[in-house]
């Protein structure tokens, strides 16, 4: 009788999910930016192109803390872990995100990197600190989210975390625009769809692959 069968171990059910390739662990990503003065036009265009027209775009206001976990043997590249906390919905769980290295394939239309998104509650910051992670930097990000099928488009402003109760100070005079899809391994066709969508926004914002290797050599202030 199924009801009396011993429950499957969590490890077994997870490895089944891995085998069936249903875990969304790959992120296809394009990024760009738009000046503050032009953002209204872009938002208007996105409202016309995206799915959630009736309700209008969803807003978000998140704080993100970026951690790094170094391999003491220095054989592997450091692991990047990011924690996101919604400032406008404080009872929501933390979002812990593991970000792997981008694959670096030149012919691919988008950046492709492995990603794990994990909802967490509890003492996550203390946990990561004790685990050996170090905070690299933190910022808050506030803006709008749109959807187009499986694609997620965010237009958001990045702020420095204020030291006291002052208003957060924007990092630049522009908005960060990201177009991303989380998908299981091997769904490369989505990259083409994203390119096609990015082309429709082309006159307003140029969404592109950002070469992280080049950025990592620049000093972060």
Residue 58: both structure tokens together: 């969803």
Residues 6+ apart with CB under 8 A from 49: 146, 148, 197, 200, 201
Alpha-carbon torsion, ordered 6, 10, 12, 16, to 10 deg? 120
Distance, in Å, from the CA atom of 66 to the CA atom of 75, rounded to the nearest integer, reads 21
Instruction: Pick between residue 25 and residue 174 the one whose CB is nearest to other proteins.
Output: 25
Near other proteins by CB under 8 A, which window of 13-21, 30-38, 161-169, 174-182?
13-21
Near other proteins by CB under 8 A, which window of 53-61, 113-121, 162-170, 173-181?
113-121
Q: For the CB of residue 181, give the shortest distance to other proteins in the complex, in Å.
A: 17
Residue 158: both structure tokens together: 């990045």
Out of 64, 117, 138, 193, name the contact with other proteins by CB under 8 A. 117
Instruction: Pick between residue 71 and residue 199 the one whose CB is nearest to other proteins.
Output: 71
Residues 6+ apart with CB under 8 A from 104: 213
Q: Is 92 in the site for other proteins (CB under 8 A)?
A: no
Q: Is 103 in the site for other proteins (CB under 8 A)?
A: no
Residue ranges in 140-199 that form contacts with other proteins under rule CB under 8 A: none
């Amino acid at each position: 009788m199924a009801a009396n069968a011993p429950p499957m171990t969590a490890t077994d059910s997870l490895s089944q999910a891995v085998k069936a390739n249903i875990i969304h662990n790959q992120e296809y990503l394009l990024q760009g930016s738009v000046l503050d003065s032009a953002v209204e036009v872009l938002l208007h265009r996105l409202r016309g192109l995206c799915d959630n027209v009736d309700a209008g775009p969803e807003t978000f206001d998140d704080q993100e803390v970026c951690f790094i976990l170094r391999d003491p043997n220095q054989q592997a590249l450091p692991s990047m872990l990011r924690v996101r906390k919604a400032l406008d919905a404080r009872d929501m769980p933390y979002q812990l995100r593991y970000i792997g290295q981008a694959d670096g394939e030149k012919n691919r239309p988008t950046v492709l990197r492995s990603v794990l998104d994990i909802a967490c509650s509890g003492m996550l910051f203390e946990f990561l600190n004790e685990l050996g992670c170090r905070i690299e930097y933190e910022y808050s990000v506030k803006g709008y989210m749109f959807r187009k099928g499986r694609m997620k488009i965010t237009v958001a402003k990045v702020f420095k975390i204020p030291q006291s109760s002052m208003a957060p100070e924007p990092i630049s005079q522009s908005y960060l625009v990201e177009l991303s899809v989380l998908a299981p391994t091997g769904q490369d066709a989505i990259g083409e769809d994203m390119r096609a969508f990015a082309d429709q926004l082309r006159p307003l914002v140029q969404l592109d692959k950002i070469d992280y290797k080049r950025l990592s050599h620049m000093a972060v202030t």
